[in-house]
Chain A
Amino acid sequence: MMKTKNIYNLFKRRYIATMVVLVTVIGVTFNSCADLEPDPLEFNLPPEVFGNFDDMDKAVTGLYGKIVNASRWTTFYAPAWAGDDITTWSAGNKADFREFDQRNVQSSNGRLLSNWNAIYDVINTANSVLDRANGLLELDVDQNLLNQYIGETHFIRGIMFYQLARVHGRIALPLSVIPDPNISRSSQLEVYEQIEADLMEAEMRLPEVYPGVERGAPRPNKGSARAILARLYMDWAGFPVKDNSKYAMAASSAKTVMDNASTHNFSLVDDLDDLWTLANKFNDESLFAIVGCNTCGDFVTANWKYGILGLPGSEGGWSETFAEIKFYEDMPEGPRKEATYRTDLDWQNFSGANDQKSPVFKKIANTDLPAGSFITARNDFFMRYAEILLIYAEASARSGNVNADAWESLNMIRRRAAGLPYATPDPSVDVTSGDLAELAFEERKWEFAGEYVRWFDLVRMERVQEALGNRDPVGPIPEHNPIIGSLGTDNYFSPVPAEAINNNPNLAN
Chain B
Amino acid sequence: MTKHFTRILKKFSVFGVFLALMSVQQIYAQQTVTGKITDETNQGVPGANILKQGSNVGVTSDFDGNYSISASQGDVLVFSFVGYKTKSVTVGNNLNVNIQLEPDVASLDEVVVIGYGTAKKSDLAGAVSQVSAKSFEDQPMTRVEDALKGRASGVTVAGSGQPGSPIKVRIRGVNSITGDNNPLVVVDGVFGGDLRTINPNDIASMEILKDASALAIYGSRASNGVILVTTKKGRGGDAKISVDQFVTISSLAKSIDRLSSSQFAEAINLETPGSFTAAEIEALRANPNDWEDLTTQTGIVSNTQLSISGGDVKLNYFVSGNYIDQEGTIINTGYKRGAFRANLGAEINDKLNVNVNLYGSRDYTLNDQDAFNWNGGFLLKALTWDPTVAPQDANGDWIYRGEYANNGWNPMFELSQSVNELVSDRLNVTINASYAINDNLSYSLIASGTRNNANTESLKWARDPSLGVGSDFNSAGFRNFRQTTHQVSNVLNWKESFDKHNIDVTGVYEFQGARSTTNSYNANDVNVPGFYHTDNSASEFFANSGSESSIQSYLARVQYNFDNSFYLTGSIRVDESSKFKKGNRTGTFPSVAAAYSFNNSSFVEDSDVLSNLKFRAGWGQVGNENINAQAGITLTNDAGLYSFDGQSPVTGQTLTQIGNPDLKWETTTQLNVGLDYGFLNGKIRGAIDYYKKETEDLLLRRTVTGTLYSQFENVGRVENKGLDFSISADIINNDDFTWDATFNLSSLSNEVTELYDGLDQVQGNSQIIGGTQERTDIIKVGEPLGTFLGYTFLGTWKTSEAAAADAFGRVPGDPKFLRDSDGELVLGPIGNGLPSTTWGLNQTFTYKNFTLNVFINGASGFDVYNMTRGLLDGGTATVRNSVSLERLNAWTPTNETEIPRIGHVNLLNSTRWVEDGSYIRLNNVKLGYTFTELIRGVDRLEFYASGQNLLLITDYKGYDPEVSTRANPYSSGTTNGADVGTGLDVGSYPNPRTYTLGVKIQF
Contacts and interface: CB of A to CB of B under 8 A. Distances in A.
Interface stretch (B293-301, B703-711, B838-846): B703-711
Contacts of A35: 513, 548, 550, 578
B645 A213 contact: yes
A479 B971 CA distance: 34
Contact of B552 (A36, A92, A128, A219): A36
Interface stretch (B89-97, B219-227, B435-443, B883-891): B435-443
A349 interface: no
A125 B658 CA distance: 12
A306 interface: no
B488 interface: yes
B653 A295 contact: no
B56 interface: no
A63 to B, nearest CB: 7
A37 interface: yes
A126 to B, nearest CB: 10
Given A60-B652, A106-B824, A23 B641 contact: no
Nearest to A355: B272
B550 A120 contact: no
Contacts of B763: 499
Contacts of A34: 511-513, 550-552, 576, 578
B437 A183 contact: no
B706 to A, nearest CB: 4
Dominant SS at the A interface?
Answer: loop
Interface centre among B547, B552, B653, B825 (most CB of A within 10 A): B653
A299 B653 contact: no
B792 to A, nearest CB: 14
B404 interface: yes
A354 B649 contact: no
Given A281-B646, A293-B649, A373-B471, A26 B509 contact: yes
Contacts of A484: 807-809
A124 B707 contact: yes
A338 B494 CA distance: 92
A381 B640 CA distance: 20
A19 B441 CA distance: 8
Contact of A314 (B403, B467, B513): B403
A375 interface: yes
A309 to B, nearest CB: 11
Interface string A282-297: 1000000001111111
A2 B709 CA distance: 66
Interface stretch (A44-52, A222-230, A418-426): A44-52
Contacts of B490: 26, 30
Contacts of A377: 470, 646
Contact of A316 (B401, B438, B640): B401
Given A44-B630, A59-B653, A295-B470, A110 B772 contact: yes
B708 A117 contact: yes
B492 interface: yes
Interface in B113-150: none
B681 interface: no
Contact of B772 (A2, A95, A218): A95
Interface stretch (A172-180, A198-206, A248-256): A172-180
A281 B471 CA distance: 18
B761 A502 contact: yes
Interface in B724-780: 757, 759, 761, 763, 770-774
B634 to A, nearest CB: 4
Dominant SS at the B interface?
Answer: loop
Contacts of A379: 646
Interface in B223-279: 268, 271-272, 275
Contacts of A375: 470-472
A503 B642 contact: no
B546 interface: yes
A318 interface: yes
A94 B403 CA distance: 19
Given A42-B546, A47-B634, A499-B763, A65 B472 contact: no
A291 B644 contact: yes
Interface string B610-652: 0000000000000000000110011110111111111111111
Interface string A82-115: 0000000001111110100010101110110110
Interface centre among B438, B546, B706 (most CB of A within 10 A): B706
Interface string B540-573: 1100011111111000000000000000000000
A475 interface: no
A299 to B, nearest CB: 6
Give the interface size bracket for A toward B. Answer: 35 or more
Given A38-B548, A102-B809, A179 B644 contact: no
B539 A297 contact: yes
Given A68-B642, A214-B644, A372-B471, A353 B881 contact: yes
Interface string B467-493: 111111000000000000000101010
A58 interface: yes
A51 B62 CA distance: 83
A118 B639 CA distance: 15
B522 A318 contact: no
A134 to B, nearest CB: 14
Contacts of B877: 92-94, 318-319
Contacts of A292: 643, 646
A181 interface: yes
B640 A65 contact: yes
A120 B706 contact: yes
Nearest to A351: B272
Given A47-B636, A292-B646, A124 B652 contact: no
A371 B467 contact: yes
A20 to B, nearest CB: 11
A187 to B, nearest CB: 19
B524 interface: yes
A113 B707 contact: no
Nearest to B523: A297
A478 interface: no
Nearest to B525: A295
A36 B550 contact: yes
Interface in A137-193: 172, 174, 177-181, 183
A62 B470 contact: no
Contacts of A313: 403, 407, 880
Contact of A61 (B407, B650, B761): B650
A55 interface: yes
Nearest to B971: A114
Given A96-B772, A291-B645, A30 B827 contact: no
A379 B644 CA distance: 10
A295 B469 contact: yes
Contacts of B650: 61
Contacts of A373: 463, 467, 470-472
A12 interface: no
B773 A114 contact: yes
A73 B540 CA distance: 24
A132 to B, nearest CB: 8
A300 interface: yes
Contact of A40 (B407, B464, B633, B824): B633
B498 interface: yes
B496 interface: yes
18 contacts: A22-B443, A36-B550, A36-B552, A43-B545, A48-B634, A59-B653, A62-B654, A64-B640, A65-B640, A91-B875, A92-B876, A110-B773, A291-B643, A294-B470, A353-B275, A353-B403, A370-B467, A372-B471
By Cβ-Cβ distance, the 6 closest A-B pairs, closest first, are: A65-B640, A62-B652, A62-B640, A61-B652, A93-B877, A293-B643
Interface of B: 268, 271-272, 275, 400-401, 403-404, 407, 437-438, 440-441, 443, 463-464, 467-472, 488, 490, 492, 494, 496, 498-499, 501, 507, 509, 511-513, 522-525, 538-541, 545-552, 576-578, 585, 629-630, 633-636, 638-655, 658-659, 704-709, 757, 759, 761, 763, 770-774, 807-809, 824-825, 827, 875-878, 880-881, 903-905, 907, 971-972
